[in-house]
């Protein structure tokens, strides 16, 4: 079998970035949540807020550490596998990625240390400020990355001279047409992810009767937040979709599974797109609804895939189904948020076993939704790396051979499997040992012995038979 | 640019970043390489504790260098990384494994020997890969029209294997002299004992590489045996510092061996730079060929000039906070 370095590089990039994305999408939301908890503690001096902030800061430390470790690979992968793309776009992408690194390090240098290790050592106001700045920093990081990514979808503000992009307007390039929508969509997704994880873990604690005072507060807060954010995300996602319709109609056609440009297009609930035959098998749809969603009119025209030649079409089935996974999960999340509102009567959100267990089981759903959404947007622009200008095939490293790409793909999968296993295993232990008052207190007092690194903020031992003096 | 050459400024920034990285991550990688040879588990605790608070800050410089290259000298980025493809993977895998073992070794007992292994192998592989990169840089890269056209293992030749092993020995030397500075008792005795051996290994590789290099690359031959006699000061000073390491170890001085080792590195590094200057992708491209557009270099320069002082201050502060000896059986106080 001929190994295709292009396809293998794409799979490798997809794998590494999907793995990496899990962590920042959570930390962005969680950082803001921690800042909020600190602010509430600062204002009310109610120790329940402090206990919550302490626990979630530990979780944050572990997840942030894993995000940094998995992110290192990203900054080299552009060069190893996509050297032609890197060289062509370096005038724009280079400074943006560097600014992200600079922001992240600046943050880590100045404020993360205070947030993780300053508790009880710096004044409360300073600690709160550090938490707020860490939260701000996660947004600034996301800003640079999403600006670079959005530019690849909707390139603007540049001029192509001798196969290299030169920036004419930094403002237009950074605030390119799809950027505001993508940033808003991702920011809200981060809050929703953080919200469901905190709600799920609080529910897990409540089911075990652990620190009910604090966890009830956390659960209630999250459910209020989700009640507003999940419908808001539907709106933001819709406007992002309309933006995509304008700039990347082929992607929208793939999302809808619509082959021929036509009017009064149904919303397909189920279909098996057949790329070869350029049509769908077994369609089940609701008449006119796709037209209504996309054009806000019963008989609006929806672009079709066949408007571009088959080699310029994305793999339709992947985009079509990933989109349905994302939307399906979104609907579940909206429904659960409204059930939460309904159950507030008589405090049943804190007591209904079924509801609490549902929340626990939903912890992984926002992550799946985020990954599905990214698969829609990234696979959907295929075969373009820089939309309508540079294809994946043009961007790949010319000297790369199939076996080299296969070697590193397998290698990264193995390395990340170990990291992920160790990280998730450890995170589970942090949660299991979480919110136990006497232990939290003891760990704070031991802070002085510990080196200053993100994961060190979590004191939980890795395995059971640990000598407590050393943990 | 008319007023000042941004490419030179950027070469200075990245050159500074590289030596900072080599020196700082060098000693903690070196301790990893020495890990399996440590006299006992207590010594390993001390070794790891002595770098635990600073190692991730040290790696800051690597990531900053990588991203900075893409922005300021994209040709370096887009030729080195494809040419060193397998090596880069091995280095990253090594760094990741040793990174997580820092976190989990202290938190586990039953699984500790696995984290020990992961720490040692990760450090050794990363150090070797970095040394091979130096060798590959001296060799030069096969390119055509701004694209790498060589094979997957052009970076792995007898010459680069030698530089790879040489850097492992060099990092181990940085590690052992660091340990002299940070430890006491039997751990320090052990560090005193191994330092001369490591120094001898470094000098042997240093000599072979110095003699071999002009034959590997004619450009380097012309540079060293041309008119620029002044540059011989660099290898002479490097050797002088090597002598200082030896003497200070004999006198059982505590901080001099480490500082003198830094001297060896700085002057070897300067010697390496003058060998190739202004070639940044030898043998075909100078740093001006490799540069990005001036407006891009300027755009990033503003941010970097703002943030580097903070990183330096933070780095200095961290080292200050964790100054002093690491004792057996305890962490930092």
Taking the C-alpha atoms of residue B76 and residue B70, their distance in angstroms, rounded to an integer, is 8
CA distance B169 to chain A (A): 26
The answer to whether the beta carbons of residues B52 and A453 sit under 8 Å apart is yes
- Cα-based angle B173, B176, B179 (whole degrees, multiple of 5): 150
CA distance A72 to chain B (A): 7
Of A76, A98, A404, the CB nearest to B68: A98
Chain B residues with beta carbon closer than 8 angstroms to that of A92: 296
Of B75, B88, B331, the CB nearest to A80: B88
A349 domain-assigned: no
Q: What is the three-state SS of A110-175?
A: HHHHHHHHCCCCCCHHHHHHHHHHHHHHHHHHHHHHHHHHHHHHCCCCEEEECCEEEECCHHHHHC
Which one, of A16, A33, A57, A59, lies nearest residue A423 by Cα? A59
Contact A91 B109 (CB under 8 A): no
Mean pLDDT of successive 10-residue stretches along chain A, which has 471 residues: 88 93 94 95 93 93 84 87 96 94 75 82 89 92 95 96 94 97 97 97 94 94 96 96 95 95 92 92 91 89 93 95 97 96 89 94 96 96 94 95 95 91 89 74 47 62 51 34
B 26-85 near A (Cβ less than 8 A): 49, 52-53, 56-57, 60, 63-64, 66-68, 70-72, 74-75, 77-83, 85
Chain B residues with beta carbon closer than 8 angstroms to that of A79: 66, 70, 77-78, 80-82
Identify the pLDDT of residue A64. 86
CA distance B201 to chain A (A): 32
Of A76, A399, A471, the CB nearest to B107: A471
- Chain A residue with Cα closest to B62: A72
B151 touches chain A (CB under 8 A): yes
Cα dist from A98 to A70, A317, B76, B82, B84, whole Å: 17, 36, 15, 20, 21
ipTM tops the 0.95 cut: no
Taking the C-alpha atoms of residue B150 and residue A399, their distance in angstroms, rounded to an integer, is 7
pLDDT tens, residue by residue, B105-154:
877 778 888 889 999 999 999 999 999 999 999 999 999 999 999 999 99
A226 domain-assigned: yes
Chain B residues with beta carbon closer than 8 angstroms to that of A75: 63, 66-67, 70
Residue B268 has pLDDT above 50, yes or no: yes
Contact A448 B92 (CB under 8 A): no
B60 membership: H or E segment, kind and range: helix B55-72
Interface test with B, best of A171, A390, A399, A466 (most B CBs within 10 A): A399
Chain A residues with beta carbon closer than 8 angstroms to that of B86: 404, 407-408
- Cα-based angle B238, B239, B241 (whole degrees, multiple of 5): 65
Which of helix, strand or coil describes residue B281? strand
Look up residue B12 and give its two tokens. Answer: 């200075």
Of B102, B110, B149, the CB nearest to A465: B110
Q: What is the mean pLDDT of residues B296-318?
A: 87
Of A404, A460, A467, the CB nearest to B152: A404
A56 domain-assigned: yes
Full residue range of the structural domain in which residue A178 is found: 5-241+381-457
CA distance B250 to chain A (A): 32
Look up residue A60 and give its two tokens. Answer: 């944050």
Domains in chain B: ranges and CATH: 6-321 (1.20.1630)
Taking the C-alpha atoms of residue B176 and residue B169, their distance in angstroms, rounded to an integer, is 10
Interface test with A, best of B10, B69, B96, B148 (most A CBs within 10 A): B96
A339 domain-assigned: no
The answer to whether the beta carbons of residues A236 and A188 sit under 8 Å apart is yes
A128 domain-assigned: yes
Compute, in degrees rounded to 10, the torsion defined by CA atoms B249, B254, B260, B262. Answer: 130
Of B52, B86, B100, the CB nearest to A69: B100
Cα dist from A158 to A79, A94, A327, A389, B303, whole Å: 21, 14, 34, 12, 21
Residue B3 has pLDDT above 60, yes or no: no
- Chain B residue with Cα closest to A112: B314
A132 domain-assigned: yes
A93 domain-assigned: yes
First to last CA, chain A: 51
Taking the C-alpha atoms of residue B260 and residue B177, their distance in angstroms, rounded to an integer, is 9
Q: Give the total number of structural domains in chain A.
A: 1
CA distance A374 to chain B (A): 24
Which one, of A183, A451, A273, lies nearest residue B46 by Cα? A451
State pTM to two decimals. Answer: 0.90
Which one, of A341, A282, A276, lies nearest residue A311 by Cα? A276
A11 domain-assigned: yes
Can you tell me which residue has the tokens 């003891």? A442
Q: What is the mean pLDDT of residues B195-217?
A: 92
Compute, in degrees rounded to 10, the torsion defined by CA atoms B146, B152, B154, B160. Answer: 120
CA A136 vs. chain centroid, Å, equals 16
Q: What is the mean pLDDT of residues B277-299?
A: 92
Chain A residues with beta carbon closer than 8 angstroms to that of B56: 68, 453-454
pLDDT tens, residue by residue, B157-187:
999 999 999 999 999 999 999 999 999 999 9
Residue B301 has pLDDT above 90, yes or no: yes
Which of helix, strand or coil describes residue A234? helix
Mean pLDDT of chain B: 90
- Cα-based angle B280, B286, B290 (whole degrees, multiple of 5): 80
pLDDT band at B322 (very low <50, low <70, confident <90, very high): confident
Contact A453 B71 (CB under 8 A): no
């Amino acid at each position: 079998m001929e190994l295709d370095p292009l396809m293998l590089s794409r799979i490798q990039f997809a794998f590494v970035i999907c793995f990496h994305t899990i962590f920042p999408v959570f930390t962005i939301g969680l950082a803001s949540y921690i800042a909020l908890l600190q602010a509430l503690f600062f204002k009310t001096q109610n120790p329940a807020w402090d206990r919550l902030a302490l626990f979630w800061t530990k979780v944050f430390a572990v997840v942030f550490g894993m995000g940094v470790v998995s992110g290192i690979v990203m900054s080299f992968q552009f060069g190893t596998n996509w050297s032609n793309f890197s060289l062509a776009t370096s005038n724009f992408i280079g400074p943006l990625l560097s600014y992200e690194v600079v922001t992240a390090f600046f943050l880590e240098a100045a404020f993360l240390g205070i947030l993780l290790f300053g508790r009880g050592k710096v004044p409360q106001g300073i600690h709160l400020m550090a938490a707020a700045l860490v939260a701000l920093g996660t947004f600034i990081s996301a800003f640079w990355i999403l600006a670079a990514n959005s530019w690849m979808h909707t390139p603007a503000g540049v001029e192509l001279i001798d196969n290299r992009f030169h920036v004419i307007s930094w403002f237009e390039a950074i605030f390119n047409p799809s950027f505001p929508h993508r940033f808003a969509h991702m920011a809200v997704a981060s809050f929703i992810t953080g919200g469901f994880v905190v709600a799920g873990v609080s529910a897990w604690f409540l089911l075990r009767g652990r620190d009910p005072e604090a966890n009830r507060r956390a659960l209630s807060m999250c459910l209020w937040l989700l009640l507003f954010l999940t419908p808001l995300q539907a709106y933001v996602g819709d406007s992002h979709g309309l933006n995509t319709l304008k700039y990347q109609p082929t992607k929208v056609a793939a999302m809808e599974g619509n082959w021929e440009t036509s009017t009064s297009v149904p919303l397909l609930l189920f279909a098996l797109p057949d790329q070869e035959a350029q049509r769908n098998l077994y369609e089940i749809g609701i008449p006119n609804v796709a037209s209504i969603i996309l054009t806000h009119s019963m008989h609006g025209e929806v672009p079709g895939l066949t408007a571009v030649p088959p080699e310029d079409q994305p793999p339709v089935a992947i985009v079509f189904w990933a989109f349905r996974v994302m939307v399906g999960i979104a609907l579940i999340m909206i429904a659960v948020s409204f059930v939460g509102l309904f159950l507030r009567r008589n405090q049943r959100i804190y007591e209904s076993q079924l509801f609490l267990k549902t929340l626990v089981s939903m912890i992984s759903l926002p992550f799946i939704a985020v990954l599905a959404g990214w698969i829609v947007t990234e696979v959907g622009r295929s075969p373009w790396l820089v939309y309508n200008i540079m294809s994946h095939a043009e961007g790949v490293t010319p000297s790369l051979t199939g076996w080299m790409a296969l070697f590193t793909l397998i290698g990264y999968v193995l390395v990340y499997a170990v990291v992920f296993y160790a990280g998730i295993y450890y995170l589970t232990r942090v949660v299991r040992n979480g919110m136990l008052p006497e232990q939290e207190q003891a760990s704070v007092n031991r802070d002085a012995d510990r080196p200053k690194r993100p994961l060190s903020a979590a004191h939980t031992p890795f395995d059971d038979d640990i000598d407590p003096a050393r943990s | 640019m008319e007023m000042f050459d941004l490419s030179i400024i950027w070469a200075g920034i990245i050159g500074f970043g590289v030596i900072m990285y080599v020196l700082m991550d060098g000693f903690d990688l070196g301790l990893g390489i020495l890990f399996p040879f440590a006299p006992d588990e207590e010594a390993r605790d001390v070794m790891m504790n002595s770098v635990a608070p600073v190692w991730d800050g040290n790696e800051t410089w690597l990531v900053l260098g990588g991203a900075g290259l893409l922005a300021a000298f994209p040709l370096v980025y887009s030729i080195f990384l494809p040419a060193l493809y397998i090596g880069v993977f091995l280095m990253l895998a090594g760094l990741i494994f040793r990174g997580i073992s820092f976190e989990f070794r202290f938190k586990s007992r039953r699984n500790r020997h696995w984290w020990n292994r992961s720490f040692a192998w990760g450090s050794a592989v990363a150090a070797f890969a970095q040394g091979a990169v130096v060798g590959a840089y001296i060799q030069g890269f096969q390119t055509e029209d701004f694209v790498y056209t060589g094979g997957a293992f052009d970076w792995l030749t007898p010459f680069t294997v030698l530089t790879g092993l040489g850097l492992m020995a060099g990092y181990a030397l940085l590690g052992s002299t660091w340990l002299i500075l940070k430890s006491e008792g039997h751990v320090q005795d052990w560090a005193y004992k191994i330092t001369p051996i490591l120094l001898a290994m470094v000098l042997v590789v240093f000599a072979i590489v110095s003699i071999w290099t002009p034959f590997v690359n004619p450009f380097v031959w012309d540079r060293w045996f041309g008119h620029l006699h002044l540059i011989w000061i660099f290898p002479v000073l490097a050797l002088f510092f090597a002598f200082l390491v030896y003497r200070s170890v004999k006198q059982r001085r505590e901080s001099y061996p480490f500082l003198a080792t830094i001297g060896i590195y700085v002057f070897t590094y300067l010697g390496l730079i003058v060998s190739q200057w202004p070639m940044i992708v030898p043998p075909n491209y100078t740093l001006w060929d490799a540069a990005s557009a001036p407006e891009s270099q300027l755009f990033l320069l503003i941010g970097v000039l703002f943030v580097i002082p903070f990183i330096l201050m933070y780095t200095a502060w961290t080292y200050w906070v964790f100054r002093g000896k690491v004792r057996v059986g305890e962490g930092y106080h």
